[in-house]
Chains A and B, each alone.
Chain A
Amino acid sequence: MLENLFFLPDYSIRLGNTCSVNNKPHIIMQRNLLCTIFLFLEADKGSNSQFCNLNLKDVILTRNITNQGFQRDLVSVIEITFEDHTPCNTCWFMLVEAVPRGMYVDLDQIKAVESFGAPKVLSYEEIDVEQPAYLSPEHTILVYSPHLMTDSKHYGTIHVDMPIHLRYHRPSRDTDVTSALVELQHPNVMIRCQGSASGNEFDLKDLYQAPCDSLNTSMCAWQDLKYRMNNGKQLQFQVPVGQQNHTVIISIVTFAATISGVLVLLWDMHLPHKSKIT
């Protein structure tokens, strides 16, 4: 899916001088050797600490949805096992989610509930929360988890609990089809760690440059993890939809009701007064 990022507008591969650690307005997710080396040279000065390779033995991702209906909670649990005695002491995770058209994440809601345990989310685009699915684009968002301390441990678990919403979908033309299907792909799980040394050797090709945190003030090197899914398939959501062939009857009855309402009230207003003159 990261490959897809390369080909979406504004997510183009750029070579050369785009590796700086200034805040760029668009994601630069690049797999560029030069860039990564450059980043390390930069890393010694300034805010980015040295990238530490946590030598992971296993990464398991479990995805669940709670609730029914249009408002759901997406729970992602990342379990990692790694070697003891690693020089890395703190690790951060980032999920790169491809939010399909039929779904949205309310960025303002998430920001408001950050203090209640929601993850920090970075999106480069506005997400319109009111449009139906057929008028909405896909979105890619970066979901930042809280950090994980990794010294004197050899396993860790991270919970990411994010509220998501489903959009209204086009009414169905088939009376047998009463809901639309929305599929959420598996995310990319990225990790970056800090430590006293850079740990084991690693393949620069696995490193990507992305914002260090949701504030997007600096860029860091992130490692794309290969993980196992605990419960196999893609997440699927059923969204109730209206029936197209109801349209005529619904329109007629609705207008009949409102016109009747008008007539009743007009008649009421113009009834003669009950005169009480004796």
Chain B
Amino acid sequence: MVVKYSDVDYWVFTDAARYITQGESPYRRATYRYTPLLAWLLTPNIHLTPVFGKLIFIICDVLAGYFIYKILTLRKTSDKTAVVCSLLWLFNPLPMTVSSRGNAESIMAMLVLGTLYAVLKKRTVMCAILLAISVHVKIYPATYALPLYFLVGSSGKSLARRPIRGHQRSIVGRTFDLFWPNAERLCLVVVAASVFVVLTGAMYYCYGWDFLQETYLYHVTRRDVRHNFSPYFYMLYLTAESSYSFVLGLLAFIPQLVLLIAVSIQYYADITFCCFVNTFLFVTFNKVCTSQYFLWYLCLLPLIVPQLKMKIADAVELTIMWFLGQGAWLLCAYYLEFEGRNTFIAIWMAGLLFFAINIYILHRIIDAKREQMSDIEGVKGQDDSSDKIS
């Protein structure tokens, strides 16, 4: 019995690869909205076997799990914990299904985790290269650029830690220090920018305006107002033809931007935590949110799990709330899409509920982080005070 298992996207990639083998632009395939590199990578789908792409995605999946393990060992978690956390990704049914159905999300997971691994090994150039490739493939890793920039040039002292003694620069002063370029930071910026420009330039040279339009501009000026998880969906649908549409779209960027900058400044020293929160924020506050987006922060979740000062019961409770929020939205959307009932208001409210649940989850995670940092400072304080005494 033949089962329709593969995702639509996989056929899109394969068709685009076929156009490339015929010497044409992959953008002749409607809805192909990725870098041409992906279609190039999948050309063996035509020559060798149609499942070549899926094999690549699955290999990237496994590599992502490996990076999780390596990053955690670098951060001095016990070997056993590191293995368990990487199993959280490797044996997680969601990425398994996604990759085997032919979505390319695992490539992003591997690239992003590789970038973090490189920065933790203090390989700034490698980090910059991987960051540039990641951003070339999908825009969202650009949110990691700021915390990575802060991290590579800092001497490791977090801005958020209150020094126990000694006089310190003001908040403004410390923020200024963060932005101030030094050798490492310049290296990161120059290498990343060059690689990105070379890649984008090469693709533009090959495929022209189509490439820019489909790979980047479409995602930024996206006007698809069909229902999705974002709290903004109904508002954007209702205002799609009004003169306010453009302004509202821009306004919706502001919460994202403000939070991304604030989080990057506050938590850059714990880069894995910072990137997880940045991605979670980006997805939660985005104007469009589909299930694919959740994988973006799912691959970073195993990295923060060991250090999260949260009882297992609490974590389970939050996970259940997240799934319930999803479920409520999916139920309302089912009635609209497959039963033809007018559930727009219900979907909007379910979207707001899901948004509120995500905010609450983030609130609990930040709380746990604060506890962890108090612990660290408490230990250091004790060390300091014991130093003083002796």
Residues of A in contact with B (beta carbons under 8 Å apart)? 67-71, 108-109, 112-113, 115-116, 126, 128-130, 132, 134, 168, 170-171, 178-179, 238-244, 246-247, 250-251, 253-255, 257-259, 261-262, 264-266, 268-271, 273-278
Q: Is the CB of A258 within 8 A of B11?
A: no
Question: How many angstroms between the C-alpha atoms of A18 and B341 in the bound complex?
Answer: 49
Inter-chain CA distance A191–B233, complex, in Å, is 46
Q: Are B4 and A71 in contact (CB under 8 A)?
A: no
Give A241's nearest chain B residue, CB to CB.
B342
Q: 13 A-B contacts, Cβ less than 8 Å apart?
A: A70-B340, A112-B11, A115-B2, A116-B4, A240-B336, A251-B239, A251-B248, A264-B363, A269-B266, A274-B370, A276-B377, A277-B377, A277-B385
Q: Which residues of chain A have C-beta atoms less than 8 A from B248's C-beta? A: 251
Asked whether, in the complex, the Cβ of A129 is within 8 Å of the Cβ of B374, the reply is no
Within 8 A of A (CB), among B233-275: 234-235, 237-242, 248, 251-252, 255, 258-259, 262-263, 266
- Provide the main secondary structure of the chain A interface: mixed
Whether the pair A254, B340 counts as a contact (CB closer than 8 A) is no
> Which residues from chain B contact A271 at a C-beta distance below 8 Å?
370
B356 and A273 contacting across the interface, CB-CB below 8 Å: no
B255 engages A262 (CB within 8 Å): yes
Instruction: Name the residue of chain B whose CB is nearest to the CB of A277.
Output: B381
Let me know if A250 and B234 touch, CB within 8 A. Answer: yes
Binds A, one of B55-63, B111-119, B344-352: B344-352
Alpha-carbon distance between A171 and B238 when the two chains are bound, in angstroms: 6
Residues of B with C-beta under 8 A to A112: 4, 8, 11
- Which of A241, A251, A257 touches B352 (beta carbons < 8 Å)? A257
With contact pairs A258-B285, A261-B359 given, residues A240 and B231 touching in the complex (Cβ less than 8 Å): no
Q: How far is the CA of A238 from the CA of B252 in the complex (A)?
A: 32
Is A108 a contact partner of B30 (Cβ separation < 8 A)?
yes
Across the A-B interface, give the 8 residue pairs with the lowest CB-CB distance, nearest first.
A276-B378, A277-B381, A240-B342, A68-B340, A69-B340, A69-B338, A247-B238, A261-B359
Complex CA–CA separation, A271 to B368 (angstroms): 12
B337 at interface (Cβ–Cβ under 8 A)?
yes
Given A238-B340, A277-B381, verify A250-B363 contact (CB < 8 Å).
no
Q: Does B224 make an interface contact (CB < 8 A)?
A: yes
Q: Is the CB of A264 within 8 A of B359?
A: yes
**Roughly how many angstroms separate A143 CA and B12 CA in the complex, as a whole number?**
23
B314 proximal to A (CB < 8 A): no
B366, A132: Cβ atoms closer than 8 Å: no
CA distance A61 to B225 in the complex (A): 37
Note all chain B residues with C-beta closer than 8 A to A250: 234-235, 238, 348
Shortest distance from the beta carbon of B156 to any chain A beta carbon, whole Å: 18
Query: Which residues of the other chain, B, contact A262 by a CB distance below 8 angstroms?
Result: 255, 258-259
Q: Which residue of B lies closest to A179 (CB)?
A: B342
Q: Distance in Å from the Cβ of A144 to the closest Cβ of chain B?
A: 21
Query: Nearest chain A CB to B137's CB is how many angstroms away?
Result: 21
**Contacts A265-B366, A275-B377; is A126 near B30 (CB within 8 Å)?**
yes
Least distance between B318 CB and chain A CB atoms (Å): 15
Q: Give the CA-CA distance A130 to B366 in the complex, in Å.
A: 38
Given A108-B30, A250-B235, A70 contacting B337 (CB threshold 8 A): yes
Option from A116, A243, A265, A274 in Cβ contact (under 8 Å) with B362: A265
A113-B4, A259-B255, A274-B374 as given contacts; A254 in contact with B225, CB under 8 Å: no
Closest to B355 in A: A257
Say whether B79 faces chain A, with CB atoms less than 8 Å apart.
no
Q: A246-B345, A254-B231, A258-B255 are in contact. Are A170 and B241 (CB under 8 A)?
A: yes
Partner of B231 from A168, A257, A266 at Cβ < 8 Å? A257
Q: Is the interface of B mostly helix, strand, loop or mixed?
A: helix
Is A244 a contact partner of B262 (Cβ separation < 8 A)? no
A242's contact among B164, B237, B266, B352, by CB below 8 Å, is which? B237
Chain A, Cβ-Cβ closest to B345: A246
B92 on the A face (CB < 8 A)? no
Chain B residues with Cβ below 8 Å from A238 are: 340
Q: Tell me if B255 and A168 are in contact (CB < 8 A).
A: no
Q: Are B241 and A134 in contact (CB under 8 A)?
A: yes
| Bound complex: CA A245 to CA B324 (Å) | 30
Q: Chain B residues near A251 (CB, 8 Å)?
A: 235, 238-239, 248
Cβ-based interface call for B162 (8 A): yes
Flag B265-295 by CB within 8 Å of A: 1 or 0 each. Answer: 0100000000000000100110000000000
Q: How far is the CA of A238 from the CA of B4 in the complex (A)?
A: 29
Cα–Cα distance between A255 and B343 once the two chains are bound (Å): 21
Closest chain B residue to A245, Cβ basis: B238
A10 → chain B closest CB, angstroms: 20
A257-B231, A264-B363 known; 5 new pairs, CB 8 Å cut-off, are A168-B237, A265-B359, A275-B378, A277-B164, A277-B385
Residue of B whose beta carbon sits closest to that of A127 = B30
Shortest Cβ distance from B267 into A: residue: A269
Please give, as numbers and ranges, the residues of chain B lying within 8 Å of A67 by CB-CB distance.
Answer: 338
Q: Report the separation of the CA atoms of residues A264 and B361 in the bound assembly, to the nearest whole angstrom.
A: 12
Rounded to whole Å, the gap between the CB of B319 and the closest CB of chain A is 20
- Chain B, 297-328, CB within 8 A of any chain A CB: none
The contact of B363 among A178, A240, A247, A265, by CB within 8 Å, is A265
Hey, which chain A residues are within 8 Å of B31, CB to CB?
108, 129-130
Contact A247 B239 (CB under 8 A): yes
Which residues does chain B contribute within 8 Å of A240, judged by CB atoms? 336, 340-344
| B-chain residues with CB within 8 Å of residue A178 when the two chains form the complex | 342
Please measure, in the bound complex, the distance between the C-alpha atom of A272 and the C-alpha atom of B390, giving whole angstroms. 29
Q: Tell whether, in the assembled complex, residue A68 and residue B339 are in contact, meaning their CB atoms are under 8 Å apart.
A: yes
Docked-complex contact A69 and B285, CB < 8 angstroms: no
Whether B225 and A132, one on each chain, are in contact in the complex, defined by CB atoms closer than 8 angstroms, is yes
Contacts of B80 in A (CB 8 A): none
* A273 x B359 contact (CB < 8 A): no
B180 to chain A, nearest CB (A): 22
What is the CA–CA distance of A271 and B257 in the complex, to the nearest angstrom?
21
Q: Which residues of A contact B81 (CB under 8 A)?
A: none
The verdict on B221 contacting chain A, using a C-beta distance below 8 Å, is no
Assembly CA distance A113 to B241 (angstroms) = 35
Q: What CA separation (Å) do A109 and B8 show in the bound complex?
A: 8
Q: Which residues of chain B from 1 to 50 have any CB-CB distance to chain A below 8 Å in the complex?
A: 2, 4, 8, 11-12, 15, 30-31
